[in-house]
Every structure is written in structure tokens, then in C-alpha cells.
Chains A and B, each alone.
Chain A
Amino acid sequence: MPSSPSTSLSSKSEALFRRVERILPTVTKPGRYVGGELNQVVKPWESVQTHVALVFPDIYDLGQSNLGIALLYDILNAQEGVAAERAFSPWLDMETALRENDIPLYSLENKRALADFDILGISLPYETLYTNFLTILNLAHLPLRSADRDDSHPLIVAGGQSVFNPEPVAPFVDAFVIGEGEEAILDVVQAHQAWRQSGGSREALLAALAAIPGVYVPSLYEVAYQADGTVASVTPSHPNAALPVQKRITAKLPPPLTHFLVPNVEVVQERVSVEIMRGCTRGCRFCHAGMVNRPIRERPLDEILATLKAGLDQTGYEEVSLLSLSSSDYSQIIPLINGLRDLLQERQVNITLPSLRIESFTEDLMDELQSLSPGGGFTLAPEAGTERLRAVINKPISDEEFMATVRSVYQHGWNSIKLYFMIGHPQETLEDVAAIAELCKAVLNEGRRIVGGRARVHAGISTFIPKPHTPFQWVGFDSLESIQQKLDILHQGLHGAKVKMTWNNPESSLLESWLARGDRRLSDVILRAWQKGARFDAWSDQFNLSHWQDAFAEVGLDPDFYSHRARGLDEMLPWDHIQAGVKKSFLKTDYLWSLQGKIRSDCRGRCYSCGILSAYNELRLVAPDGGWKCP
């Protein structure tokens, strides 16, 4: 252990925090950096064998709202001999203050330097956190590259939705957990403990980790490239290194949170959240979450309601939220809403129910939703303006069906509808884009007919980004000129209409398109951009494209190769050695179907053999009551 017997550990953290307390009055929102919340778990440092710091590489306000971190915190702290603590990105003023005073980044619980931990668990749910991840390592006074770290450094483990393509950050990470971390994290801790006892080398630890299902140790794989820059081969260099690495899933949804931490400073989501369902059977071709989170597993109704009640009791929150990719597909949705209504009457709380699908609306459901008397707007996501393009992206809703839903929403007492669309879809024409504006206006007209002048429509426009492990993983990202032209069409089309339109910065989408389908060489670009000052790339007011363009130029890689280039169907993709459950051959067929506008229906009714059942059937058999909705 990197501690000398002469210094008591608790005095070590006190000394650190005494220095921190002196800088806190000089930074904005210092309450982000002190911990001390209700239901925080502080285990005496010496009382546990393994110390894990869970790190979300954005500020506290966002990270503390992340349910994934909260679940892992709960799971690890339930273990004897293990302590999980938290750390988040400091905002820029705090980063400067820490550097100027030579204070390392520390955990909120025991106020220990991150370098004192055994394991840092880094959450990477989206790609634009990569530079913040490097800031974290740097502020923790750790070498950025795995190859430069040794036995005296913590093990850096990363997980989350974006690491289904781990390659762009592979050189910085010792081990990735691919897929669901709730069980795998315990295996990682156990392997670490066994390694500590055996006193082996760091190489021995990495080899032991590689043997855990779902764990990918990138240093145990050699990547070779073709002359054209595409991947030639990925070769394991150790017998424990699996090829492919199959994602980890849990047979049934892991238990919900038992301890709800209540932040002292305001965070983005202050409510009791419970995941009601994981996975989605709809098969939208652009949707990363829908492809990589299969199979679909539902949480039993009574467990959902009990969790919400316990959460409200523990927190005193005024709001509850149900999380899933498609809430209206939950098979017990009507009984669930009835249960929520009782809760609402009993406790005076608000309810948010995101991700309702147009296809699964029924009049019954609308009646029930109305009875919750939710305030605010109603959100629908047709994603494309024409029936033709909706068939291409496999979100098959007819215009008629869509307008019927809109009518029903206004008739059931809502005045405001928010519509989500994407531009830049494969095979999109300018007519498809113009149709978005027409659809918005048609919705507003329908609203005015039903509720009069109170009717509101808000169009949220984002840019399609091809993601790995989806049927669109081969297509090129739209050019910035084309995206701008499409935005102009929408502005013109909605000019004078009382439709509020918001849109993503196309340059931010461009960055995401580089990072999402990058290979291992892209890590040099990330490092270079970070060195140039790239921070908080997910924040539109902080993002600076020129850092990235300069970094590409200096490293000598072509940005278009990663973004706009269409991949060949036979090309070896940088993430092919990561198996997300849905087979590449299935994705390929689905992509070919998209070229014909051929629809693949919701697979709850019939199985299309995407690969999940063949890969995980044994798991399904051990948990027959696991709520799988595969036929």
C-alpha cells in the first residue's frame, strides 16, 4: 500500500482538506467539493481492504444525478471490506485553484487523494467526456497512459455506454467493463483483492482481469492497420484475452437503489428515479441504446412502487421519475400509472414519465396519463418528417397515426407538445427535411383547433451521428454544409409559424462523430486536443472545435476518415472484437433492409435472431422470472 506507517491515514486526509478549505471561498459553488450529504457512506479508511473511487468526469451537478454511479456506489458499499467514494470533475475555476495550490483531486467522502485508491471506476456514458477523463487523471497526479503506470498507481477501470467502442480511450484505461457493471464490478474488486494477497505484478493483475467475462484489457491486444488506415487485425497477446469480448449482462434487472443520497447543492435531477425496464425491442436503426442494451428486462410492478415509496421517505423529494428507453412499452403500464396516481395523492409529488412511444399509445393509456394531471408539455419523437424516411430508420409511424396521437394529446388536456427530430439520416432528401417543418405546423394547427391559442409546439432538432453496434455503423456522417443547409430549410419553413425550434451545434455533433467510431490511433488526437485546452466538450459554451482540428493536423490523421467516410460492409471495424450481443451479420442485414425501406417490426412478437438469445440463453434459463420480453 502506498502509505507509510508513520503518518496516520486520517490525519493525511485532514491535512489535505485543510488546504482545500482555504481555496473553497474563492471558487463558484464550493458546495460541489465538500460531500457531507444525507446518506453519503463514509467508511473509516483503515477499516476496509479495497478503496474504489467512482468518478463521473463532469461536474457534481450532473454526475450526482447519474443513476449508474449511484447504483455502483450502493452495490460496492454494501460489501464488507470495500468502500466506494465519489469524485467529479472540478469546474474550471476549481481546476485552476487545485493546480495553483498543488492539491490533488480528492474523494468527497474521506477527502483522500485519488492516487491513494486501489481502483478508480470511471463512468463514460458519452464520448464528449473523454477530455475531462484526462483532466481527472492529471489532477489525480497519475500518468495518463496505462503503459506509464505501475503497481503504485490505482487501477483505472472504465465503463458506460460509450465504451462499447473502447478503442479511442484504450491507451488511457487499464480495463474496461463492457456492458452492465452491477455484477462485473464485484468480480473486478475480487480479482484485485486476490492479486493484492498474492503480491503479484501489475501484469498478473491485468491478466486476471482479462479472464473476467465482459472485461476488456486493451493492452493485451495488438491492433494492426491496412495501408488505407482501416483495421487489419486485432490480436490477443495473452491466453486470458478473449476474442471477441462478449458484453456482460445481468440475468434480471439488478435490485433498485436502497440508499438515496440527497445532494446539498442543487443538481440537474432532484427526484427519486427508478429504472422500470432495460433494453428496447423497437429496433430503431440509429439508436445505440436500443441495440446495445438488449435483451429487454422489466422490473416487477410492486418493486417499482416500493422503491419509489422508500426513495420518497428517505429523501423528502417532491418528484419521482421512471426510467426506460420506452416507458409505454412496459407491459404493466396501466397498473403502474394507477399505482403512481395513489402515490401522487398520498404524497403531493410530481411525476415524470419520459420516453412514451407514439406506436404504443392507446386511448386507455391517454386517459390514465391524464389522471396524473402532469404539468408541462408532452413529448413525442417521430425523428423524421416523412413516412418514407421513418421506414428507412425503422421508426414506422404513419402520418395518420401520428396526427391521431397528437389530437389525443391535445384532447386530453395538454397544451404543449415537444417534437424530437433528427436531421442527417442516411438517404435523407431536402424534401424529408422540409416535411419536418410542415409536420410541426400541422401539429400546431391541430392544437389550435382543439385548445385554441394556448397550443404550443416545440421542435427539438438534433443531428444524426452514426454509432457503433447499430445498423447504421457503416454510413457517413453528414457534411457540415449539408447540415447547415438543412437547418436553414427548417428556419425558413418555420418562419412566421409560432413553433419554437432548438437545435444542436453541428460542430459538436462532428466531434461526437469522430469519437464514436474512432480507432486506437484517435487517442493521440484526444490527448493532443486536451493538451491544447479541450475541456467540457459536452458544454456548448466550452467546446472549441479548433482544438480538435489542430490536434488532427498535428497528429497527422484525417478527421473525415472517421466522420464522413462510409465504411465498406466488409471492412473490419475498430470495435469488431467487442460483442454487444447483436451480431454483426444481423446489423448488416438490417442495414441492407434500410436501403430498401424495409421495416423490421417490434421483436417482442417474433424473434429475428439478433444474436441475444443464442449468446445469453443460459442466463435466461437461470432466471426464468427475470422479466425477459424476448418471445
Chain B
Amino acid sequence: MTSQEEQITRIRVTYAKGPSLRFIGHLDLQRLWERLLRRSGLPIRYSQGFNPRARLNLASALPLGVVSEAELLDFWLDEAVPVGAVAKTLSQNSLPGLEIKAVQSVSLREKALQEQMAASDYEIQFYDPQPQAELAEKVAALLAAKELPRVRRKKSYDLRPLILDVEVFIRGDGELGLRMRLNAAPSATGRPDEVLEALGFSNTEYLACRTGLILEGESAPLPS
């Protein structure tokens, strides 16, 4: 290992994607991050080749329309910079709706973030108030189902094993919402809109928020 390679640092950012960015898709978000990193002036590690690009790694694509309080992203620096300074310059150069919540340095040897993904937690806020008994009944029926055959991009699959948990809860504003934990392993990712559709809701009836990403080996109770 040369001394230069010893300096390489892997940085993990936890960030929120707010309502003003909820209709910005995954590829666009990736470009916004590349620009944010360029603006930050940090010694970003670039890919080699004709068109060098910042090397970055987003944990899990957030479905269009969903906001998030806890997205994860890794990028690499060519030289060590104190994480406090990284957090500061990222916040200063960020864009509206993208809030830097935590910055840490992680081992270079960790697997890619996408490969570490285990599950995602979501909270659902309905635009119109929902009657409790009916909602609870729908959720109970969903969880009781042995299988939930569905079609995504012309491929049949079973939604049921992708649902780890769903529960009805009372939100701060007194209205009913849903909390759910969905599988997010690389080959088996559940999407909140598919669960909501299985419950009989179209994507124009609610706002979904991702509240947490769970990496493999982590165990966290569904927040309450």
C-alpha cells in the first residue's frame, strides 16, 4: 500500500430527502449528489477513465413520491478530512430539501451499501382521514394472507414475504397512519406503494416517508 492509498477514506452520510425533493427520482438524485460533492470542494475520489465521475454509492433507491428521514450514501475521499469538517461543508453546499443528518467514517472493507441492505421502515400519512376499524381490518387481512401474488414490470411475484410488518398507529395530528417494515434485501425489495395498493389505496391518496434503513446485522424494533 502506498502512503497515498492509506489516506483514502470512506465517508457515510445519513441524510433526509424532504417534500420538495419527493418527485426527484433516483438517477436525478445521484447527479444532485455529484454536484453537491463538487461544490463542497472536498478531495473527492473519482472513478478512473475517460469521463471521471465522483465515486458514490446510494444505499437504496427511494420510490418516486416518497420522502425520507434516513437515507444513506457512501463516498470516498483521497485524503483524510475530519468528519466534522465534512459534515459542515456538505451542509453548507447542500440544496433545499436535502438535509445532512450525520456523517461518519467507515471501514474501506465494508461491502457496498446496497449489498448490506436488509429492510426499510416507512410511515404512511393519508390525505383524507381513515376509519379505524376498516383500516385495521384491511391490515389484518393483508398480514393473514399466505401469499399476495402481484405483477411488477410484467413479472409475477409474491408480495407477502416482502412485508415484514404493518401496523396502524395514531399520528401526532390525531389521524390514523400506517407503519411498515419491508424487506429491502438486494434481490427482494418491497415497495410501500405496492403494499398500499394491496390495501386498496392509489398513490394519490397518501404521503409515504421512509423513516429508517436497516443494514444486515443490525436489529431495530419498528419505531413506535
Contacts and interface: CB of A to CB of B under 8 A. Distances in A.
A26 interface: yes
Interface in A279-332: 312-318
Interface stretch (B35-43, B135-143, B165-173): B35-43
Contacts of B23: 24, 30-31, 33-34
Contacts of B207: 21
A315 B34 CA distance: 11
A410 B206 CA distance: 59
A24 B24 contact: no
A38 interface: yes
A348 interface: yes
A265 to B, nearest CB: 5
Interface in B35-87: 35-39, 46, 50, 52, 64-65
B20 A34 contact: yes
B111 to A, nearest CB: 28
Nearest to A265: B28
Interface string B87-118: 00000010111000000000000000000000
Interface centre among A22, A33, A40, A315 (most CB of B within 10 A): A22
Contacts of A315: 35, 39
Nearest to B93: A316
A264 B21 contact: yes
A23 B35 CA distance: 30
B186 interface: no
Contacts of A262: 32, 35, 95
Interface string A256-268: 0000001011100
A30 B24 CA distance: 8
Nearest to A318: B38
B39 A316 contact: yes
A123 B50 CA distance: 38
A34 B50 CA distance: 35
Interface in B176-218: 203-205, 207
B223 interface: no
B17 to A, nearest CB: 11
Contacts of A24: 23, 65
A38 B96 contact: yes
A316 B38 contact: yes
A25 B39 contact: no
Contacts of B150: none
Contacts of B31: 266
B201 to A, nearest CB: 12
Contacts of B39: 313-316
A264 B204 contact: no
A350 B50 CA distance: 11
Interface residues of B, number: 29
Contacts of A34: 20, 23
Given A36-B96, A266-B31, A348-B52, A25 B203 contact: yes
A218 to B, nearest CB: 39
B21 A26 contact: no
A625 interface: no
A545 B108 CA distance: 60
B24 A31 contact: yes
A23 B96 contact: no
B24 A316 contact: no
A488 interface: no
A323 B171 CA distance: 54
Contacts of B37: 316
A35 B22 CA distance: 11
A37 interface: yes
Contacts of A23: 204
Contacts of A26: 203-204
Contacts of B38: 312, 316-318
A23 B204 CA distance: 7
A317 B204 contact: no
A18 B204 CA distance: 11
A314 B36 CA distance: 10
A264 B65 contact: no
A30 B27 CA distance: 14
A36 B97 contact: yes
Nearest to B41: A313
Contacts of A38: 95-96
Contact of A22 (B32, B97, B127): B127
Contacts of B65: 24-25, 30
Nearest to B34: A316
Interface in A213-249: none
Interface centre among B23, B93, B96 (most CB of A within 10 A): B23
Contacts of B46: 348
A268 B20 CA distance: 22
A37 B36 CA distance: 12
Given A37-B96, A316-B34, A30 B64 contact: yes
A40 B93 CA distance: 14
B127 A36 contact: no
B93 to A, nearest CB: 8
Contacts of A316: 34-39, 93
B25 A31 contact: yes
Interface in A347-395: 348, 375
A37 B95 contact: yes
B95 A264 contact: yes
Contacts of A313: 39
A35 B24 CA distance: 10
A26 B203 CA distance: 8
Contacts of B205: 22
Contacts of A35: 20
A524 to B, nearest CB: 39
B204 A22 contact: yes
Contacts of A265: 24-25, 28
Interface centre among A18, A264, A318 (most CB of B within 10 A): A264
A375 B95 CA distance: 30
Contacts of A21: 207
Interface centre among B21, B93, B96 (most CB of A within 10 A): B96
A312 B35 CA distance: 10
Closest 9 CB pairs of A and B: A316-B35, A36-B20, A316-B38, A30-B23, A316-B39, A38-B95, A25-B203, A31-B23, A22-B204
Given A31-B25, A36-B20, 20 more contacts: A21-B207, A22-B127, A23-B204, A24-B23, A25-B203, A26-B203, A30-B64, A30-B65, A33-B23, A34-B20, A34-B23, A35-B20, A36-B21, A38-B96, A262-B95, A264-B95, A266-B28, A312-B38, A316-B93, A317-B35
23 contacts: A21-B207, A26-B203, A26-B204, A31-B23, A31-B24, A33-B23, A36-B21, A36-B96, A40-B96, A262-B35, A262-B95, A264-B24, A264-B28, A264-B32, A265-B28, A312-B38, A316-B34, A316-B35, A317-B35, A317-B38, A318-B38, A348-B46, A348-B52
